[in-house]
Structure 1
């Protein structure tokens, strides 16, 4: 994959005018925001001055502040707030980044992995009441068809008690990848984060070893991997073959780089990977300059993590072991 410095040079050479145009729109928006704030401040000062030399009650300044703020808010939102900037920025930068890295990849800012793929992965057993996403990228890496996007799944939780308030509980919020490999697994394989089991202590360890819903429990030889992940396989031999030293090291690296919980399942001829980032990807803030290097670096990293995940899984080595 091309380096970030190469992408940064590409942006400077090819997209500088478009990026500067977006930044100019952002600056114009905040210039008018400052002007409206100044007008409101002047109105309050004039009102205060009038109240000092007339019988106008001082507390009426609050009325000026309330009405002035409401008017300024209405004018700014109706005439100067440019909500298209974030989507224009993403469309410009992310689409260019995807094309720059691999012209065969396709980017759809409003598309996302369908619920059928999410459900087929069997990674998250809770059924979501809310399921959405965006930033779908599809294509082929080293001959393996892949697609991935940001996904958000959550369920509605009703609290017990008098109020019976409902709240949304997050199941997954991160990057979700589906890869189709030239091999049908004999049984299902799951590599799951062990975080939930750690919280349950001894009971968690018992559940971890006897989770019959997932298949046979496999004890990884890598102690660090064992401390971070739990592995199940319906076919023990197949599960042990996938747990090579290289595989475990690379999954640990993926977890470390992303600073997120990683979930993997292998079912049929599909590999599913969920990286639970708990944040929105390809996100910008209108309060900061769009030309900041940090934005470009963040976008590059988000894409890099998922484009290298198949390499991190080292499926080629696994397929060679199966053939032998």
Structure 2
């Protein structure tokens, strides 16, 4: 395997120009098909669809798979995700830790570790959560259910933590957060708004550098042949298609044969017809009824059980 640049178009051009060399003998590499398509997990749950380019040395005839630098060999996660996992593991964190951290009591039972140290500097005392069936707090003041623990934690954060001056920043966290919000709030540009409402679908480019989308045929960059690309478009205008490979824009798709101009699932929004007037002024009737009810005084004497308020 050979690690290359993340720009697939640039790598394809260098490969066809003979600029990539074999790491074993130093001879130029030539195109040799593509590898198996695979799905790579990215940051924040994103998915990357990759079909690695294969090459063959013109000297020793050894084949090499060209992997982008953001992907590690024989791994289903990107290098960024793997690096973040290694940092978390080095800090002793992660979902596989089952024992209590030092200083939070002994035993390896089903109790959860206390989320706070003892009462120091305005922090709440240690809260415990056990696997009991009852909810709420027990008679000795301990927390017996996770729901009650979360409720008390929220109360502490909103009442104490957010309003206590931080020792390093010199500001309460809530004031520091509110101060970081720009005034007025920035508005998205028309280009960002249009990007938010675009649709996309994935297609594999044929050997003749074409893709099909709902009966339409488009021509793309020949460097993308055999690759899985993302087609970004306006559902009401299929004549303008933007092609993206590995999250990067590679240009516009040229319409070759267009028989459908709108997406089959795109339906224009038709405003509802206004309701016919009934001739009844509902707000006026409501106002008159409320005025009549509040105009009547209350005879407090008539509320007594005895007859002192009767006439």
Same fold (TM over 0.5): no
User: Per residue, is there more helix in 1 or in 2?
Assistant: 1
Task: State the TM-score bracket (shorter-chain normalisation).
Answer: under 0.3
Q: Give me the TM-score of the superposition, normalised by structure 1.
A: 0.23
More contact order relative to length (CA 8 Å, sep ≥ 6): 1
